[in-house]
Amino acid sequence: MIKSKLRIVPWLMFSLLMLPELAQAKKLGVGAVIGAPTGLSVNYFLRQDVTVHTTLAYDFGDDDDLQLASHYTWRRNTLSIEKVRFGWFYGLGARLAFNDHDHNHRHHDHDDHFHLGPSGTLGLFHEFKEVPLELFLKGNLTANIIQDTGIDGDLMLGLHYNF
């Protein structure tokens, strides 16, 4: 299981090397998500209303998942509640998850799996006027089609610092 999880390290290193260049463009949100799963989150703005939102996160639930999900999202700024403006977003993408079904990390029990499939996302966000922070709540629905089949749902609360 550890070897399969380590395969994601080169992609992560490349992403971290790109952060300074992306931050100079002032089109980047970097932060974290908590929930199912919990981890790192990056939101790259292609335009003000279109982003690529990527999370690298760990789900502490029954399957012990390490997940990489990325969605092309469309953003809308149309909601107001008590003078607080909210936006919403929706998008399509994919998710790759590595998991160990029984948490038996000491033995080579060969129950490690990976899941890959198309994914959709839907969420709400609020951008603070005083500081470059964005608070968001998002849900993902993934149809696993490679190694195992099935439907998975994720719910996360996150915070980005926008450059």
For residue 7, the model assigns a pLDDT of: 62
The better pLDDT of the pair 3, 77 is held by 77
What's the angle, vertex CA 19, arms to CA 28 and CA 154, rounded to 5?
A: 60
* 110, 102 contact by CB (below 8 A): no
How confident is the model over 96-139, as pLDDT tens digits? 998 876 555 555 555 578 899 999 999 999 998 889 999 999 99
pLDDT for position 67 = 93
The amino acid present at 146, given as its one-letter code, is: I
CA-CA distance, 147 to 104, in Å (whole number)?
20
User: For residue 65, what pLDDT is reported?
Assistant: 84
- Residue ranges making up the domain that contains 94: 2-162
User: pLDDT (tens digit, 9 = 90+) per residue, 36-92?
Assistant: 899 999 999 999 899 999 999 998 876 678 999 999 999 998 877 777 789 999 999
Tell me what pLDDT residue 52 has. Answer: 97
pLDDT, tens only, 137-163: 999 999 999 988 899 999 999 999 998
CATH number where 72 lies = 2.40.160.20
**What's the number of domains the chain is made of?**
1
Tens-digit pLDDT profile for residues 4-28? 555 665 655 555 555 555 444 459 9
